[in-house]
Amino acid sequence: MMDTDRGVPTIAEAARQIKAGMLSPVTLIKNCLSRIDQYEPTIQAFHVIFADEALAAAETAEKEIEAGHYRGPLHGIPIGLKDVFYLKGYKTTSNSRVMQNFQADEDAAVVTRLRDAGAIFIGQLNTYEFTFGGRPTFDALYPPARNPWDVTRSTGGSSSGSGATVAAGFCLGALGSDAGGSIRTPSAFCGISGMKATFGRVSAFGDLPLSFSFDCVGPMTWTSEDSALMLQVLAGYDERDPSGVETPVPDYVAPLNDGVRGLKVGMLRHFYTKDFEAPLEIVKAIDGVGNTLQDVGATLGEINVSPLIDWHAVGRIILPAEAYAIHEENLQNRWEEFGPLARNRMMLGSLVRAVDYIQAQRRRTELLEEIETALAEYDVIITTAMLTPQPPLDDKAPFPFLNVPMIAVPFNLTLHPVQTVRAGFFDDGMPIGAQIVGRNWDEATVLKVAHSFEKNAGQLKRFPNLN
């Protein structure tokens, strides 16, 4: 279940070593590819592995550094791409037979930004079909990724390969997308860090969408420091993204070690203690995040908003309705090419009446105001990123969100930035994740709080044992 070494450095560690000439990008890539060769047949995190391309890019990166052209902390760093982002010269499938021959003629905006920063793409990563989360399926184009902590358990979705590959040390960071927890859930389930930035902060151009009003793109990494390094490159206005907002991008990295003394932390406990009674291990772990921050100078309080089921109900109307609207033509004309599970989830959206959708959007505005009110008093909000342990990989529930409320969707509804961190462990050694929520456009504070917790709690010293 656990090991004493992840097998690869963090992005921050590797960046310092590469810049100082102590680590070769070629050596780093070879190390990652060796781990992939050894463990990927079991984990199944990839759709496509770019072994030759990654080695060639590493050789180029090494020559550039030797010539004095160092591009920054992502130069020579192996990154995985969730298979929903346009990548010129390669197919983008979203793990669906509907898309198995689709090839974009340009790169996604985030792909361009990572490449310009010197990152090396090591492969395209597994996802739930058309990013519709819930539970993994065996009826899509590719089989599901497995959780490196226990290969019989789910990674969470939909950025399943991204969570698995970072946890397994196949690459140092990965791109995910999030319309209802698809960055945060696999980050929590796989024991890594993941950032859903403020809606509009990172360009979604070239990201195959699930929802018009929820979809976000962000980094998935081992630490929040690494998330800050990636977000620094990913963030910024892009006129091609209709949801993009032209607002300054702050320095996410410099304030990380400023500490949390004087910050006010609001614990949103009733989501996991009253609205849904999570296992005691989760309650203790999430409460422990607040206690750790209090120990290093933050002020702790407790907030109350509408019951979790209200948030869940609004999300369960808006998300399927928008997903159906996006995929309606293919559902009508290419019905048999969808996996039954993804198809059935989308078809729920065909039953949503216009009046229901409008009323849900009205209620969404009211719920947003509740979080805004809380964040007027507190600098960040902390709640759980999961309500149950990681389910078995072969869980048969077709609509798991009908059994357990969606704990991540409240902050898709409100658009606020959220960082997922490892908060602790279940008694069986599986990781537990927490959400740290901040004010819109204030990812810097969220990341600072997350980094302070990780540094002081010591939870990241445990690693999956892949042997």
Strand partners, 463: 3
Question: Of 24, 82, 160, 243, which one is the catalytic site residue?
Answer: 82
What are the phi and psi torsion angles at 384 (to 5°)? -75, 155
Question: Of 159, 162, 182, 211, which one is the catalytic site residue?
Answer: 182
Residue 41: helix, strand or coil by DSSP?
Answer: helix
CB of 283 closer than 8 Å to CB of 272: yes
* Annotation says 82 is catalytic: yes
Question: Of 94, 158, 227, 452, which one is the catalytic site residue?
Answer: 158
DSSP symbols for 8-46: S--HHHHHHHHHTTSS-HHHHHHHHHHHHHHHHHHH--E
CB atoms near residue 72 (< 10 Å) = 15
- Closest by alpha carbon to 384, among 213, 248, 211, 268? 268
Q: Assign residue 95 a region: left if phi > 0, alpha if psi is -120 to 50, beta otherwise?
A: left
Instruction: Round to whole Å and give the CA distance between 34 and 41.
Output: 12
Instruction: Round to whole Å and give the CA distance between 78 and 408.
Output: 28
CB atoms near residue 88 (< 10 Å) = 14
Q: Exposed, middle or buried, 67 (CB in 10 Å: 0-12/13-18/19+)?
A: exposed
* Annotation says 182 is catalytic: yes
Q: Is the dihedral of CA 13, 163, 422, 224 positive or negative?
A: positive
CB atoms near residue 309 (< 10 Å) = 12
Strand partners, 80: 123, 174
DSSP symbols for 286-315: HHHHHHHHHHTT-EEEE---S-HHHHHHHH
Instruction: Round to whole Å and give the CA distance between 16 and 238.
Output: 30
Q: Which residues are catalytic?
A: 82, 158, 182
